[in-house]
Amino acid sequence: MDFHRIISRRDLSDSAYVLRFERNNLNFLPGQHINVGLNGDENRPYSIYSGLYDDYLEILIKEVKNGNISHKLKLTQPDDFVSVDQPHGFFTVDAEINKKVPFWFIGTGTGISPFHSFIRSYPGLSYRIIHGIRYFSEAYDHDKYETGHYICCTSRDSDGDFNGRVTEYVKNADILKEAYFFLCGNYEMIDDVFNLLIDSGVHKLQIKSEGYF
Q: Are residues 55 and 154 in the same domain?
A: no
CATH code of 131's domain? 3.40.50.80
Give the residue numbers spanning the domain of 200: 103-212
In total, how many domains does the chain have?
A: 2
Regarding whether 166 and 76 lie in a shared domain, the answer is: no
| CA atoms 22, 24, 29, 35: torsion sign | negative
Do 119 and 67 lie in one domain? The reply is no
pLDDT of residue 185: 96
Check residue 213 and give its pLDDT. 60
pLDDT of 95 > 90? The answer is: no
Residues 61 and 14 grouped into a single domain:
yes
Residues 138 and 63 in one domain: no
Inside any domain, residue 38: yes
96 within some domain: no
- With a threshold of 0.85, does the pTM exceed it? yes
Are 54 and 122 within one domain? no
State the Cα–Cα distance between residues 212 and 153, nearest whole angstrom.
18
Q: Within a domain: residue 90? A: no
Q: What is the mean pLDDT of residues 3-20?
A: 97
Per-residue pLDDT, 151:
98
**116 and 205 fall within a common domain:** yes
pLDDT digits over 133-183, tens only? Answer: 999 999 999 999 999 999 999 999 999 999 999 999 999 999 999 999 999
Q: What pLDDT sits at residue 68?
A: 87
Return the minimum-mean-pLDDT range out of 15-29, 58-72, 162-176: 58-72
CA distance 209 to 200: 17
Amino acid at 169: Y
Say yes or no to pLDDT of 97 above 90. no
